Structure 1
Amino acid sequence: MSSLYLLHKPYQMLSQFTDTQGRATLASVIDVPGIYPAGRLDYDSEGLLLLTDDGALAHRISHPRHKQPKTYWVQVEGTPKDAALHALRSGVRLKDGPTRPAQVRRLEAPGIAPRQPPVRYREAIPTAWLEIVLDEGRNRQVRRMTAHVGHPTLRLIRVAIGSWRLGDMAPGTWRRETLHAPRRKAPMTTRRHRSRR
């Protein structure tokens, strides 16, 4: 049995527990001894972060070989045309090489709380929301992909990692799930525990 913690990482918080520069860290929102992130989420991104005290589980979640798909809701500058979406779906060539094809679809503005501080608003420039699903995780990949097709990312929220979903957790809240180790190749099962702050 292993414990997995699902946390809604707020905007402008590091995906670590300490920082020498005085920036916000996970220590201000979750106080569970001996856990560490299974993967990371950028300082200026929000959403689902998984934490555990089980090294093997962390490896299964975060290692690229296991290809856990990650789902993002992305607010971009401008209104992407079909050609831009097709480019994202097909894979774009970044400085560190071509990306794998992504699942991309237009998204109605999700019913989520405004970011604090809010996204900059410019009356003359519309914004749009996309849902982007990747099975790779390069540094700042979503932001680089949308910028490559002419639509810089304004807000980025990770809403799922594999079958684990952010759901309705508010920023800074978390919940614990107990994972029962699979026998042979049976899927892992989970037992959910009440959300905590």
Structure 2
Amino acid sequence: MPLILFNKPFDVMCQFSPHPARETLASYIDVPGIYPAGRLDADSEGLVLLTDDGKLQHRISHPGRKQTKTYIVQVEGEPSRESLQRLRAPLDLGDFVTLPCDARQIEAPDWLWERQPPIRTRLSVPTSWLAITLSEGKNRQVRRMTAAVGLPTLRLVRIAIGPFSLESHPLWPGEWQEVSAAAIA
């Protein structure tokens, strides 16, 4: 049962079936029978886990299993103590209330690759970086959370899922590596 770590590039669909306008996982990974354990939007980058084992896929992606996911997020504006506290606490997004999470401001990561195309920049508006670790993962949750506290997301990179991270398994965008699934048990 392979478990594959893949660094999904920006603007790639997290699916193997063809897409009329964008690249898909099939453009990068030629391993039959595997599927993503969870998804990442086309406009998000970073770590995706793939497997051919349905039970393992469930252990990785089901919210009840509490596999944490860590994101680094470039946002427009400067976070205040209050906005960071609102991110950490349960946050009402209208259709659901988030679980508490870890959210903190970080320095711009010097190891991070350049995004293609680059994000838009405005000289009159500063940007900041946050690290956010969730134990859930609803559709566009991080983007919705940062927008709800007045810090629109400019760039979103998932750097870790459970015990796997791009720090311990360095991969450039488009690269993948097979690893042991024992750490998920």
Any unmatched runs of 5+ in structure 1?
181-186, 190-197
1:179 and 1:88 mapped to 2: Cα distance?
A: 31
The Cα RMSD (Å) is 1.2
Alpha-carbon distance in 1 for matches of 2:173, 2:20? 22
Counterpart of 1:98 in 2: which secondary structure? coil
Find the counterpart in structure 2 of residue 177 from structure 1: 179
CA distance in structure 2 between the aligned counterparts of 1:188 and 1:74, rounded to whole angstroms: 25
**Residue 9 of structure 1 pairs with residue 8 of structure 2:** yes
- Secondary structure of 1:105's match? strand
Q: In structure 2, how many angstroms separate the alpha carbons of the residues matched to 1:113 and 1:6? A: 17
TM-score normalised to the size of structure 1? 0.89
- How far did 1:22 drift? 3.0
Among the aligned pairs, what percent are the same residue? 56
Determine helix, strand or coil for the equivalent of 1:72. strand
Q: How far apart, CA to CA, are the structure 2 residues paired with 1:69 and 1:188?
A: 11
Give me the whole-angstrom Cα distance separating, in 1, the residues matched to 2:152 and 2:43.
Answer: 14
Query: TM-score, normalization: structure 2?
Result: 0.95
State how far apart, in whole Å, the 1-side matches of 2:156 and 2:171 are.
16
Give runs of aligned pairs for residues 43-54 of structure 1, distance below 5 A: 43-54=42-53
Matches within 5 A, 1:136-175: 136-167=136-167, 168-175=170-177
Q: How does 1:1-197 map to 2 (within 5 A)?
A: 2-111=1-110, 112-167=112-167, 168-180=170-182
Q: Which has the larger radius of gyration?
A: 1
Does the residue aligned with 1:71 lie in a helix, a strand or coil?
strand
Secondary structure at the aligned position of 2:154 is classed as: strand
DSSP 3-state at the match of 2:84:
helix
How many residues are paired up?
Answer: 182
How many Å separate the matches in 1 of 2:124 and 2:160?
32
How far 1:77 sits from its partner (Å)?
A: 0.2
Equivalents in 2 of 1:160, 1:45: separation in Å?
14
Q: Report the CA distance between 1:188 and its aligned residue.
A: 5.3
Distance in 1 of aligned mates of 2:121 and 2:114: 12
CA deviation map 1:47-69 (0-9, x unaligned): 00000011110011011110111
CA distance in 2, matches of 1:148, 1:188: 32
In structure 2, the residue matched to 1:194 is none
* C-alpha separation in 1, matches of 2:18 and 2:30: 16
Deviation string for 1:71-95 (max 9, x for gaps)?
Answer: 0000000001100000011121101
Structure 1 segments (4+ residues) deviating >3 Å: none
Kept after mapping to 1: 8 A contact 2:76/2:128:
yes
